[in-house]
Structure 1
Amino acid sequence: MTLILPTNYHALPEIEQNRVKWVPVPQAEKQDIRPLRIGIMNIMPLGEKYEFNLLLPLGLSVLQIEPVWIRLESHQYKTWEPGHLDDNYVSYAEATKDTPLDGLIITGAPVEHLRFEDVAYWNEFTEIAKHARENTPNTLGICWGAFALAYLEGISKVDFDQKLFGVYELNNLDTEHFIMGAMDDAFLSPQSRMAGMDDDELLIARDRGDINLLAHGPESGYTIFETKDQKVLMHQGHPEYSSGRLAYEVLRDADDESVLPVQNFDPANPVNRWRMHRNTFFHQWLRYCYTQISLGSAE
């Protein structure tokens, strides 16, 4: 319904153009509404240009959302605009010092080719993920964020020879699930990754009772899954991407020999065929976080 944002936030024109409601921080503080504090650990390159991909589906929900942008203190944000990080981001410790988060989103990151232990910020990331698992209703990992969270659950990553790149169909594996129950039996989702979790290991983890498998695609494998206790949700694709974002990546990777032509998507006519998946996925995730908080308050 409403995003809580500072009046100098750089993407306000885009937010208003897309008819997303927002209120400035002072006005929100006067309202008798307890917004959901959603932490967003944004590790994407040119991160300030990526933010709107998440703010749009969050802002279209029926709940009031306070996005809390989280920085990793051990990460160098080399491609970001000067000052943007200092003006808009806080450490995880600062974000959770006085008030807990009601949900945490971890984005993708351009480190798919590295072993997790070789990622410069891996130790800090691990500490945050473990704390969130115990203290936050749900942690949602997207692309590399999903790989990293799955790895912490004991599931191995597989590096690809060629990038999985395009828009692919996924089959719904659990139509009674709190998120998947609102989805079609088959739906589309963008994929843009050079790695993924091994399908065989995911099946083994399911059979031993560690995870629930939620969506599968012939080309992308088991793309959406969660821990058995429903505290961690992992989406290996990029449901948050706009068609413009995907078209930008096509141009960016045009000279990369490891990237085959994008599949099922025309960057010259970037039609978005996954918008309903994006909106439903994030709306239902927010609803789940809200429900968990409400249940905790009632106890």
Structure 2
Amino acid sequence: MTIIVRPDYHALSVIEKNGIRWIPPQQAELQDIRPLRIGILNIMPLGEQYEFNILHPLGLSVLQLEPVWIRLESHHYKSWPENHVQDVYVTYEEATRDQHLDGLILTGAPVETIHFDEVHYWREISEILHDARESIPSTLGLCWAGFAMAYMEGIDKFNYDRKLFGVFELENLDLSHPITGELDDVFWCPQSRHAGLADDVMESAKEAGILKLLAYGKDPGYTIFATNDDRFIAHTGHPEYNATRLA
């Protein structure tokens, strides 16, 4: 369908090159369509360059989407152009003040070897996740954000001796779930992380009715999972990465 972006958006030429339809906000306001507002809390390093990795799959949706870029108040985006953060991004409070979000995406961050309580912006992230659980229909956590969702459910990560890096085979564990129902029985997904979740702990969480386990790989472990109410969807890999991102 179409994503709503400003005509001066820095990656507009890449969006057009990849065949993604877009319209400016002024045109969207004249249409008799309410787009889905999708919040994107981006804490990736060099996040300006990363943005297209999120916009590309969103742009392939059959629905009209309005990306709402969200920044943390407690984090200094030192590898980003400062003017870009201030010009394009809003706080979570600003994003939800006058209109609700139909969905929220939390990106990964290079802090998976650090305990959550020692991450300087963890308090703000946890407050956002608590609010999202109550007020947003569904929230997707990628890589570290997926671990954060598990931690909110009482499941802690552990650090690997060696970084998990590459494209790995995953088994689809639930062909009836809305997230994995249209995927193949076996599929491949990029991974780039220093931490994981113990299989036995994840299986115990499933037995306790805390989680739904949706995809598993021999090396990556349980990579896709959801809370029982499907308000949190976690993917500890990087399904958003394009073919050159891991190179």
Any gaps of 5 or more consecutive residues in structure 2? none
- How many angstroms does 1:69 deviate by? 0.4
Q: Judge which range, 75-84 or 40-49, deviates more.
A: 75-84
What letter is aligned with 1:101? Answer: L
Q: CA deviation at 1:82?
A: 2.6
- Alignment match, 2:155: 155
- 1:133-173 per-residue CA deviation (whole Å, 9 max, x = no partner) reads 10000010000010011101111111111000000000000
Residues 28-78 of structure 1 show CA distances to partners (whole Å, capped at 9, x for unaligned) of 011111000000000000000000001000011110000000000000101
> 1:219-266 deviations in whole A, cap 9, x for unaligned?
11111000011110000000000111111xxxxxxxxxxxxxxxxxxx
Structure 2 residue aligned with 1:222 = 222
Residue in 2 aligned with 1:53? 53
Alignment of 1:178-189 (within 5 A): 178-189=178-189
Q: Which runs of 4+ in 1 moved over 4 A?
A: none
Shift of 1:80: 0.5
The residue type equivalent to 2:142 in the other structure is I
Residue correspondences, number: 247
Aligned to 1:241: 241
Q: Which residue of 1 aligns with 2:39?
A: 39
| Match in the other structure for 1:128 | 128
1:4-39 per-position Cα deviation (integer Å, ceiling 9, x unaligned)? 011110000000000100000100011111000000
- 2:110 matched to which residue of 1? 110
Partner AA of 2:21 in structure 1: K
> What is the aligned partner in structure 2 of residue 101 from structure 1?
101
- TM-score using structure 1 length: 0.82
The runs of 5 or more residues in structure 1 that have no matched partner are 248-299
Q: Give 1:73's aligned residue.
A: 73
Q: Deviations over 1:190-223 (max 9, x none)?
A: 0000002221111111111100000000111111
Corresponding residue for residue 63 of structure 2: 63
CA distance in 2, matches of 1:198, 1:135: 30
The structure with the largest helix share of the pair is: 1
SS in 2 for 1:96: helix
Query: Aligned partners of 2:24, 2:239: CA distance in 1, in Å?
Result: 28
RMSD: 0.6
